[in-house]
Amino acid sequence: AFADEVTARHGLDPQWVRRQIGQAERLPAVIRLIAPPPSPAAKNWAAYRDRFIEPVRVQAGLRFWQNHSDALARAEAAYGVPAELVVGIIGVETLYGRHTGNFRVLDALATLAFDFPPSHPRAAARAEYFQGELAQLLLLSQRQGVSPAQWRGSYAGAMGLPQFMPTSWERFAVDFDGDGKIDLINSATDAIGSVANYLKAYGWQSGMPTHYPVRFDAATLDLDALLAPDILPSFSTTSLQAKGVVLDDEVRRHTGLLALVQLHNGDPQNGGAAPSYLLGTDNFYTVTRYNWSSYYALAVIELGQTIAQERAKAAKLSDNKKID
């Protein structure tokens, strides 16, 4: 039934579609990986951060930036997205291509499309989503002249250096190296341009910070109201101050809406620290469109910043040696 629907909707050859779908295998490992953990661990921003802002990833990021500095600069000029943010995303997603996933994408998407765990609170919606991704994989394969069974990626079906799902590949991937084809698996240049295009399409505003530090006035703080919208920017600077947020001059000059983002640092009753907070801008929210998580967004931002700082240090050291 799915094959017939895809054929009718997209004008593909019905025998080809049925043959490709018929190759898909159900992967129990994918079902286990997509299911929520039975007893979720307490969130810990410090532990999450340490997974990504660490020496191996930073050094790999420095090499990636060095090797692709022209493409990163060109993407920044074309889309307004800072090079460090693109470097941060590709670093968090795949460690610059080292970990792109080894699941056969056809199997992963078919498993999630037709055997999504019914215990999941959004099982029906998620199954429908993955059916759409599976259909898009077939279309992508047709255009690329590749067998659908050849694609490799994550257990959720994400592919290449930037871990694009098939629909993101269709909507946002660009031929940034100008060779006449889009290749997010082997072309770092295409991946760089595509990540920048993705963020620009989701509303990245050049020159706007992603976030600001924040302080509170304990006497007037209304934390519940501030956290209610989650990471969606919902408060003007005036309304933030009315709810007990202390703003410095830089934040008061910000003209857009802001969100109070809470970062847990483990369970305080078991030795964890108290939560920490920041004010997220529309650009912070844009980064979460890549992955719906404030932890993910901040890890991407801080990895990119760390690599940029290390790159600046190396450049300064090199200049000093030339002077000596």
Whole-angstrom distance, CA of residue 67 vs CA of residue 86: 14
What digits encode the pLDDT tens for the residues 283-293? 999 999 999 99
What digits encode the pLDDT tens for the residues 222-277? 999 999 999 999 999 999 999 999 999 999 999 999 999 999 987 666 667 889 99
Reduced to 3 states, what is the DSSP secondary structure of residue 279?
strand
- The listed range with the strongest mean pLDDT (8-12, 246-250, 302-306) is 302-306
* Full 3-state SS string of 189-210: HHHHHHHHHHHHHCCCCCCCCC
Whole-angstrom distance, CA of residue 101 vs CA of residue 112: 16
Catalytic residue positions, numbered:
93
Among candidates 84, 56, 80, which has minimal Cα distance to 69?
84
How large is the angle between the packed helices 123-144 and 14-22, nearest 10 degrees? 120
Q: How much is the average pLDDT of 113-119?
A: 91
Q: Give rounded-to-5 percent helix, strand, coil for the chain.
A: 55, 10, 35
**Structure pTM?**
0.93
